[in-house]
Amino acid sequence: MSKKIFKHYFSLLHIDYVKLNYKWNYNNVISPYYRLYYIDEGYGTISDNSGRLILESGYLYLIPSFTICNLNCEDYLSQYFIQFFEESPDGISLFDQNRNVMKLAATETDVTLIKQMLNHNPGRGINRSDNPKIYEKENYYKEYRSHNDTMKTHLKFENQGILLLLISRFLNTRDFKQNTPQSTPSKILDTMSYIQLHLNKNLTVNKLAQRVNQNQDYFSKQFLLHTGQRPLNYIHEKKIERAQYLIATTNKTFLEIAIDTGFSNLPHFSKIFKQIVSLTPGEYRNRNDFYLNS
């Protein structure tokens, strides 16, 4: 009997309750982690490429990682927020086909879980600064996430359970696009994990095929069949996703980032980045430099 292994893991970064005003007005927000909001009072808006949503009392909002959006409050808005990272062995996001803001009415259970999580994770707000130029850096992510390593085991399980329950609410909406379920061969899964662990290398389809002892054409067809992407497209997507993270969280030059993500030269890196993100690396960094968030 085949068993479908649940492979998605979510780790807490921040959780807090904040009261916002007209200063909460940020455009082109892009982060490598997820945001989940519960609004309990006030009014605001959030918009992405698919449209504009009203932030209103009694609703949950989920913003998947690397989703570009605008946040705005004209007067007053109070919210519970949770920020968290997603991890999976094959690097495929649960929201891979859902990079847009999602909204649904909160239940009494949702609110209870969020308040319980906040109560059991004191001091996990953004205490350093509201400015992402200061706090959205890789070394600070490591600092904030280090709290998870010292947490008692039962609280680790509780946090994971609450995050899974809250996320599951968004998986049961008609707007959620489900990845086509199918039995993925071990060689394809192993290749996907290998790619994630070697993004700094010059990965070629031929070398990946040789690694699993398959003909290149056969390997490419199998990869496309079971992932929906050609191997080279998948390699580029994961490399650029890593580059987005480095641009948003470090002060590395674009050449350094190109080398860190396995590109042989800066022009090639910039070309692939523009193809996937629809922005140049410079435009992407500028967008990150101009927003503040809570």
Q: Give the domain-ending residue among 120, 144, 171.
A: 171
Identify which of 216, 30, 148 has the alpha carbon closest to the alpha carbon of residue 224: 216
Which DSSP helix (H) or strand (E) runs through 139? helix 138-150
129: domain range? 9-171
Give 107's DSSP letter.
P
The residue among 107, 141, 171 that closes a domain is: 171
**pLDDT values of the chain reduced to their tens digit, one per residue, 294 residues:** 344 556 778 889 999 999 999 888 887 677 778 999 999 999 999 987 677 889 999 999 999 887 878 889 999 999 999 999 887 765 667 777 777 889 999 999 999 999 999 999 998 887 654 444 455 556 666 777 777 778 899 999 999 999 999 999 998 876 676 655 456 788 887 888 788 778 889 999 999 999 999 999 999 999 998 888 899 999 998 899 889 878 877 788 999 999 999 998 999 999 999 999 889 999 988 876 654 343
pLDDT the model gives residue 254: 95
The pair of three-digit structure tokens given for residue 89, joined into one six-digit string: 């062995």
- Rg (the chain; Cα; Å): 20
What residue spans of the chain are helical by DSSP H? 108-120, 132-135, 138-150, 153-171, 186-197, 205-211, 216-227, 231-249, 254-260, 266-277, 281-289
State both tokens at 95: 């929201």
Query: In the prediction, which pLDDT does 292 show?
Result: 36
Task: Give φ, ψ of 34 to 5 degrees.
Answer: -85, 150
Q: Is residue 179 part of a domain?
A: no
**Which of 136, 171, 206 represents a domain boundary (last residue)?**
171
Chain centre distance of CA 267 = 26
Same domain flag for 125 and 64: yes
Sign, CA torsion 196/197/198/203: negative
If asked whether residues 162 and 214 sit together in one domain, one would say: no
- Is residue 90 included in any domain, yes or no? yes
Any domain includes 181: no
